[in-house]
Amino acid sequence: MAAQYNNNSDKVFVVLPETDEDELSLLLWVLNYFSQDKTKIIIIRVITVPLEELPDSHWINESLQMDLVMELCATYKFQVEKLVHKADDIADGVVQIIAKHGISNLVMGSTANSDMTDLASETAIKVRREANLSCKLWFVSNGNLIFTRDPVVNLASTSSGSSSESIIEEGDIDVDAFLSLMLHETSIKADNLEKMVEEFFGAHKKMAHLVNKLAKDSQQKEQEIRDLKENLEREKQEKDQLRREIEENEHKKIEEIEQITKEIDLLRIQRDEDLNQIQVAHERRLALEEQVSDLEFVVNELCMQKEKMHYGSSTALNSEFSLQELQQATENFSESLKIGEGAFGPVYKGSLRRTTVAIKLLRSQSIQGLSQFQQEITILTKVRHPNLVNLIGACSEVSALVYEYLSNGSLEDRLTCANNTPPLTWYTRTRIIGEICLALIFLHSNKPQLVVHGDLKPGNILLDTNLVSKLSDFGISRLLKQPDTNSTAFHETSRPSGTLSYNDPEYYSTGILTPKSDIYSLGIIILRLLTGKPPMNIARQVEDAMSNDMLSSVIDESAGAWPFEKAKELAKIALRCVEISRSQRPDLVNEVWVVVEPLMKAACTYVELAEESIPSHFICPIYQEVMKDPCIAADGFTYDAEAIKQWLSTGHNTSPMTNLSLPHHDLIPNRVLRSAIHEWLQSHPQS
């Protein structure tokens, strides 16, 4: 067996580890490391078990499958053989094999220390220490070379066969040691001097060859370093060029964005100018309608007859007043009792049947005026809500409508502080926003026909003694049939009407009126209550302030110290409401009311804590009076028992607050609230 491997300088002996995973990692390292030499691989297996007879195939079954070994070696174009050796200890076995077969190259696995710079395996350390010095050793851990022991060259031998060895490592030789050794050996046996000299010069020749090889390798390495520096410099130049191009592109993009922003601003200005022109054209059209031809008179008479027939049935729930009663109530429509001027006639304060009322008188008998007069009667006799103005009756002789009188005028009057009235506080404004939302939810969910107000603005929102808001002026409102599908209910006209600054831009451009049109108007009203600014361009001002994180600069300080986060929430939902495209506007119930409701409740709580006024939750939503017997209905709202029972007894199956269907008519006494009302009344006696 020794003879078989005597000339083994072109062979690599590999000691297989004990686990398959380590074996495969070690074998792959050998195949890659020696891939240029294509040396022959001898796989060694040291068997430590005391077996008398060990079959040749047994060693391989405990480690890598021979088929895999052969396949890997064939892939790398290596020849492979196997060598089995039995010993009591693996390290002793490896040392014995090296000595027995005169092995020159051996690779074995080992664990490494923590920084992968030295051996940590006792077996590997022992092999490194005791193996024949003429054998070069490689130690590999997890596919990484961690240690190499180079061989010691045999320089001379004594006559008895002993040898002298010295270490030559990468072209470096310890000459002093070498000469000392030579002199020592010369004293032992002079006959070997000539041979030693020959070996010395042979070693010197090898060393010179190695030095030349190192010089060539050094030149090659220097060239490689120069090439690497050139590549790095070229890559640096390319990166610098790429960075400059990126910076130039970013600069161009910034310029493009600035240009687009300027164009958008110009488009907004143009849009505002177009809207102003539309308003001017609209006002001109209204003026022309007053100058109808003689043919209109005939049509007017016919329409009046038809409307009076319809009027008789539609006002069944209201009182009919005579012209004489209205004249007595208003001192013959005295200018001193005139409290307002609408688009189609004046409004007077009067005392009618011992009740203070507001009387709207139709100035013109035009078709449009009569149509709006009739439309308001039709709607206000069909819907009732605490936040809708109450229609008391009408006078068909002069086309006059009689409403409940609301002492605090319109919301527009309060926002402009007309007659030196104090500004509305932030919590009152927040509550008013919530009341408007409730009124719109009620109108938009009315059945069988929903109602779109169409001209929602502060001038058409009236305030009672307690500054509770009520929607009025339903002259251009529309009753729309609830759609059977998911489509949107709408009214289409070729003559859009209303107030430009508050009306839906899509309504003006298309003539299509939908519930989302009221949402646009609501958004403008919220922004006015928040900022106190005029309606024209108000959305743009608030949007710019929000984008620059300067919302506080546009909030109306006269309303008091707005809670900033609450004001910010109102501004955000308002800006969504005033989107130009109605498809982008939020849903009233699921999005707007979700934001407004908690803000409204918080504002009411603040009022109750800050002022000695009647708590708002003590007031019946139907009667608008302090509740005597509060009860909770199926919609979650609390009403006075008498009021809600009367509501249900008249055939209503919907909530007075939301107009949504009630799942049942059961009422739950709210004893806690009744006790609180009783205690409050005792501590706050009313005059």
Nearest to 120 by CA among 142, 93, 152: 142
Q: How far apart are CA 610 and CA 85, in angstroms?
A: 99
The answer to whether 455 is a known catalytic residue is: yes
User: Taking 90 as the threshold, does the pLDDT of residue 507 lie above it?
Assistant: no
| Residue 309: pLDDT band with limits 50, 70, 90 | very low
What is d(CA 347, CA 359) in angstroms, rounded to the nearest whole number?
5
User: Per-residue pLDDT for 367 more than 80?
Assistant: no
CB atoms within 10 A of CB 121: 18
% of the chain beyond a pLDDT of 70: 77
Say whether pLDDT at 554 is over 80. yes
Ordered structural domains, the chain, with CATH = 3-151 (3.40.50.620), 293-405 (3.30.200.20), 409-613 (1.10.510.10), 617-683 (3.30.40.10)
Model pLDDT for residues 96-148, shown as the tens digit of each residue:
999 999 999 999 998 888 888 889 889 999 999 999 988 999 999 888 899 99
Q: Which two tokens stand for residue 413?
A: 């009057």
pLDDT in tens, 510-532: 888 889 999 999 999 999 999 99
CA separation, residue 390 to residues 236, 264, 354, 442, 614 (Å): 81, 45, 17, 15, 23
Q: What is the mean pLDDT of the chain?
A: 80
Geometric angle at alpha carbon 412, from 411 and 415, rounded to 5°:
85
Could you say which of 22, 455, 504, 629 is catalytic? 455
Lowest mean pLDDT among 134-148, 207-221, 462-476, 571-585: 207-221
Mean pLDDT in residue range 597-611:
75
Mean pLDDT, range 80-88, rounded to an integer: 88
pLDDT tens readout for residues 326-363: 999 999 999 999 988 876 789 999 998 888 999 998 87
Report the pLDDT value the prediction gives residue 354, as an integer from 0 to 100: 83
- Sequence-distant (≥ 6) Cβ neighbours of residue 607 within 8 angstroms: 427, 428, 431, 613, 616
pLDDT at position 293 over 50: no
Per the CB < 8 A criterion, the answer to whether 508 and 278 are in contact is yes
Model confidence at 372, pLDDT cuts 50, 70, 90, reads confident
pLDDT the model gives residue 343 = 66
What is the structure's pLDDT at 55?
53
- pLDDT exceeds cutoff 70 at 280: yes
Consecutive H or E run containing 301: helix 294-314
* CB contact at 8 A, 408 and 414: yes
* pLDDT tens by residue, 109-121: 988 888 888 898 8
Calculate the CA 654 to chain-centre distance.
Answer: 38
Task: Answer whether 504's CB lies under 8 Å from 476's CB.
Answer: no
Distance CA 286, CA 372 (A): 14
Helix axes 426-444, 515-531, angle to 10 degrees: 180
pLDDT in tens, 176-212: 565 555 554 545 455 555 555 566 666 667 767 776 7
Query: Tell me, what's the pLDDT at 482?
Result: 64
Average pLDDT of the residues in 434-451: 90
CA distance 67 to 329: 116
Q: Which tokens belong to 412?
A: 């527009």
CA 469 to chain centre: 37
What is the tens place of the pLDDT at every residue in 312-331? Answer: 434 344 578 999 999 999 99
Task: Please report which confidence band the pLDDT of residue 441 belongs to, taking 50, 70 and 90 as the band edges.
Answer: very high
Q: What are phi and psi of 416, to 5 degrees?
A: -95, 0
Q: Using CA atoms, how far apart are residues 438 and 456, in angstroms rounded to an integer?
A: 14
Count of beta carbons in the 10 Å neighbourhood of residue 518:
28
- Which tops the pLDDT comparison, 231 or 192? 231
Burial class (CB in 10 A: 0-12, 13-18, 19+), 86: middle
Residue 126 has which token pair? 């022992």
d(CA 555, CA 354): 43
Question: Quick one: pLDDT at residue 428?
Answer: 93
pLDDT band at 310 (very low <50, low <70, confident <90, very high): very low
